A and B are shown apart, each in its own frame.
Chain A
Amino acid sequence: DAKTTQPTSMDCAEGRAANLPCNHSTISGNEYVYWYRQIHSQGPQYIIHGLKNNETNEMASLIITEDRKSSTLILPHATLRDTAVYYCIVRDDKIIFGKGTRLHILP
């Protein structure tokens, strides 16, 4: 079973920041948090991952709470091409996908 809980869907206006939450209250000390997204009919795309410090790359920022029980993926300036299903993953030795968050970017 997936170890994370995410909202089923979210809307975000184009050009605004999209903030996608994830709860992972049972995360253990050495488990990383990974974010992927899947655009329709494509394979999942890796976005970012982190252990306990906040991370930023060219795609997104990842904010992890101090107790590591939740995190937020931030897409700073959402575009229509960011419409996808976003998966928050706490990985053991293999990735088990939950239902993810379906993000709609509104023009």
Chain B
Amino acid sequence: GAVVSQHPSRVICKSGTSVKIECRSLDFQATTMFWYRQFPKKSLMLMATSNEGSKATYEQGVEKDKFLINHASLTLSTLTVTSAHPEDSSFYICSAREEYSNQPQHFGDGTRLSIL
């Protein structure tokens, strides 16, 4: 079945560091990828939609300068948390959708980011 790989699975770093998270679709081409954020005991919150070759579309309240998204190829999207602070600590999850609109989105296993 379709597989989405997310890397790294866990990051611990100091405040002020920028952190990059990669999301790859391993066996299909994804023109659209999505980035979510999840706080403990809460549901996933959509942050942005990443479109290959164009700018990402951010949800209301998500700072585009804080969360940089690049979707340079049909199999790779990256999320960079710039100048991370403790309040950015969270579980970040990406997903990718196959080309045809009724195909399901497949999710990565998430990245747990801890900012000290």
B104 at interface (Cβ–Cβ under 8 A)?
A: yes
Contact residues in A for B43 (Cβ distance below 8 Å): 85, 87, 97-100
Q: A32-B102, A94-B46 are in contact. Are A42 and B110 (CB under 8 A)?
A: yes
Interface residues of B (CB under 8 A from A): 4, 6, 34, 36, 43-46, 49, 91, 93, 95, 101-102, 104-110, 112
Residues on A lying within 8 angstroms of B by beta carbon are 32, 34, 36, 38, 41-46, 49, 51, 85, 87, 91, 93-100
CB distance from A85 to the nearest CB of B (A): 8
A14 to B43, CA, bound (A): 26
Docked Cα-Cα span, A100 to B112, in Å, equals 21
Could you say which residues of chain A place their CB within 8 Å of the CB of B46?
94-97
Check B34–A44 contact: CB distance below 8 A.
Answer: no
Nearest 9 A/B pairs, CB to CB:
A43-B107, A97-B44, A97-B43, A44-B107, A46-B104, A43-B109, A43-B110, A43-B93, A43-B108
